[in-house]
Structure 1
């Protein structure tokens, strides 16, 4: 792959991040929160931090599909934020475990069926 195509892909491919703060005081609220997390995982999201899930998407159009699915699964209570950033922006993130810097995850290889 040529350098120009690699750069283009870094700006075209997206990461979708879902941040949420859902109530968990009652049994029903815990079930709703757990169901929301399970739907994210079923749709290919992985936990980045507690209450932050992320998913790599090869294009903006693909990201839009997963954002729509997430919006359709929104709980009635709580706060949810959906953010999308380019792969290039994601690659500039600095991650630390304690004071030790770690490399960000690389996109998983996913088979896309149309």
Structure 2
């Protein structure tokens, strides 16, 4: 499964900018990668891990703005059409597990 996070956070004040940066760093630290600006994605094993991850994202969400989560299966994710552009090097399209030490 894939968990996708879509967010639109305000960045007009310094406090809001710090909250945005903190949330983005949280996503990156927890294994999300950027599909495009304000859209991040992470590969998870099953519905249970998807639920736990969504709870974790909710607990780290800033108080202002809009954040949406979407869980899709690998089959659904693989049917995504890319109309303009190329798949980036960071695009993970397999379920192989890799451990780097």
- Superposition TM-score, scaled by structure 2 size: 0.85
1:50 and 1:74 map into 2 onto residues whose CA distance is 17
RMSD: 1.9
Structure having the larger proportion of residues in strand: 1
Quick check: 1:96–1:102 contact (8 Å CA) kept in 2?
A: no
Structure 1 outlier segments of 4+, above 3 Å:
101-105
Query: How many residue pairs get matched?
Result: 96
1:11-22 map, 5 Å: 14-22=1-9
Segments of structure 2 that go 5 or more residues without pairing to the other structure are none
1:1-114 map, 5 Å: 14-98=1-85, 102=87, 105-107=92-94, 109-110=97-98
Structure having the larger proportion of residues in helix: 1
- Superposition TM-score, scaled by structure 1 size: 0.76
Segments of structure 1 that go 5 or more residues without pairing to the other structure are 1-13
